[in-house]
Chain A
Amino acid sequence: MRTLFEKVWDEHVVVPATDDTPSVLYIDLHIIHEVTTPQAFSMLRDRGLSVRRPDLTLATMDHSTPTTPVRTFKDLAVVGESAANQIRQMQQNCRDFGIDLLGFDSDRRGIVHVIGPELGATQPGKTIVCGDSHSSTHGAFGALAFGIGTTEVGHVLATQCLLQRRPKTLAVNVSGRLPAGVGAKDIILAVIGRIGVDGGTGHVIEYRGDAISALDMESRMTVCNMSIEGGARAGMIAPDDTTFEYLAGRPRVPRGETWDAALARWQELVTDEGATFDNEVSIDASSLEPMVTFGTNPGMVIGISEPVPDGGDDPSFRKALDYMQVMPGKPMTENDVDVVFIGSCTNGRLSDIEEAASILEGRQVADGVRMLVVPGSQQVKREAEARGLDRVITDAGAEWREAGCSMCIGMNGDIALPGQLSVSTSNRNFEGRQGIGARTVLASPATAAASAVRGKVADPRQLMNR
């Protein structure tokens, strides 16, 4: 009897661990981007090594790339000489080492964790790594996916393997029916609020229960994406018909007989009845409301109707409230909003943009609020435009951008200014994450869009059901 995680892990052990040495683990898909790879390629050059499996390496550019609308990418104004240099090096490295790059001329370019699934490169049972901690996103397909550092990026480029000790397992059971206006982002924020930002350290999470099975793939990706915010290496969901339907026909998914064989293999990827986890937590989805963060880490989170808690004289808690300029005892809805960001690998997919647009439709972004909507990939952008969502967004007074990480990490010039309050669908509300002194409130696309309309942090349920 094995858990989903154990099945995927066992199948990828090339050399088993001993007391003295970790396992050698085979990696099926390595996704790379411009920010965490240059030093790894330099290491390969210094040692005269090549990339072992360029065919298992998927490369794109997303982090430091501009998202300002342009006619052609030739006119792109990259912010700063060092970012421009990083982008040029990525192009050069991919050329020199024989890796296909989904670069500026590709209509498939986008955020690493958005394009993997979109292309069907992300599949159940694969091991997937990327020099980015939100690699856990791909676990929504029943893959074992986790973030690695640049030295490890070099290891995978050179050997297609990593040295790993087996993590522990944590089951997060989410049961019950989600109330209207409450979605995947609210589930994962509630989970992190429950286990804390270090609750998952050393563990791989499996999200289970009827509330998880009921989610579509994009929502499952939102949930798995933020596993790292609970400290976990990875988050997984057992693949099912929802997963297989999503994958069927995607460019990198097998066809014909190979599809049938893959499907048979994928259907085995469930935790066996009676298999045990090292730890378990349960959450009742029917009791959730829209969630918002009030502090400077994702575990500092409350329901939209709840007051900001008083942390007593805990200095770390006080420091966070001071930074955020929020008052204990008051709900977050009393805070004025300056910026709203819809995007990122957490909530930058088509359904997220639809959710935001449904709130914006026929309404205006409040005076003094700047709202940015940044699709997670060029494909998401095209699909949204085909549905006319870009018009809804621009008619409401928001900006519609090219694909990229944008204000999730603030590396490309898209930032909030010191002291500004930003309601954001991204995943980190750390101090300075969205710009020096910027104050970030994490929320769902519906909550973010409602906040843009109201000009204050807002409960989206009041703008639904018209």
Chain B
Amino acid sequence: MEAIKTFRSRTVVLPTRDIDTDQIIAARFLTTTTREGLGKSLFFDLRFDADGNERPEFPLNGPEARGADILVAGNNFGCGSSREHAPWALLDYGFRAVISTEIADIFRNNSLKNGLVPIVVPEDVHTWLVDNPGVEVEIDVEALSLTLPDGTTTTYPMDGFARHCLIEGLDQLGFLQQHDAAIEQFEKERPWTP
């Protein structure tokens, strides 16, 4: 994973609540055996009509969405299935962060492990971002802050370890492997075997 410290980009806004991972990437695209190339399937049935033409009303298809790397989404984004294909598809499409008032647990976990920054902001900041699509904002992962175009800054929560891994570009398996001796000891000493 690449280290992520700060970046600036414009936003694209999907204001709907409870966007589930089936909408992010439909099950019929999950027969893949790699992580790559899922961007073309992202939000497929929302982006395209039955004939495969772009739906002009869908925000990602608008001209202002080109080059916008930050997705502002409605409350409870990423609910539903545990498919890691959802953050893989968002990253492959070009997104680097998702901003919402709430982000579902498993999706948030999966995002952090792949370098997609999940950002939970207070209601008023969210409302402003929804009402002002396409603005350029700055995301600082070291300081856990989001800076709006007028210079106001808001901080967002993130587990300290997850933050450390993002800014150092570390993957968490390495950390787990350092505990190999403790795991072996645990297996030896536990009073029952599974």
Contacts and interface: CB of A to CB of B under 8 A. Distances in A.
Given A149-B110, A231-B104, A21 B76 contact: no
Interface size class of chain B, counting residues whose CB lies under 8 Å from the partner chain: 35 or more
Contacts of B180: 159
B67 to A, nearest CB: 26
A67 B48 CA distance: 30
B74 interface: yes
A148 B22 contact: no
A327 interface: no
A158 B106 contact: no
Contacts, number: 179
B159 A22 contact: yes
Interface in B167-187: 172-173, 175-177, 179-180, 182-183, 186-187
Contact of B31 (A150, A159, A411): A411
B136 to A, nearest CB: 26
Interface string A98-139: 000000000000000000000000010010000111000000
Nearest to B15: A315
B172 A133 contact: no
B102 A319 contact: no
A133 B86 CA distance: 13
A121 B82 CA distance: 22
A133 B79 CA distance: 10
Contact of A197 (B18, B177, B186): B18
A15 B186 CA distance: 9
B108 to A, nearest CB: 9
B79 A35 contact: no
Most chain A C-beta atoms within 10 Å of own C-beta, residue among B104, B172, B194: B194
A158 B173 contact: yes
A315 B110 contact: no
B179 A19 contact: no
A316 B19 CA distance: 10
B3 interface: no
B113 interface: yes
B186 to A, nearest CB: 5
Contact of A163 (B20, B81, B83, B172): B172
11 contacts: A39-B33, A42-B34, A82-B31, A82-B33, A86-B31, A148-B106, A319-B16, A418-B50, A430-B22, A430-B23, A432-B23
Interface of B: 15-18, 20, 22-23, 26-28, 30-35, 45, 50, 74-76, 79-84, 102, 104-106, 109-110, 113-114, 159-161, 164, 172-173, 175-177, 179-180, 182-183, 186-187, 190, 192, 194
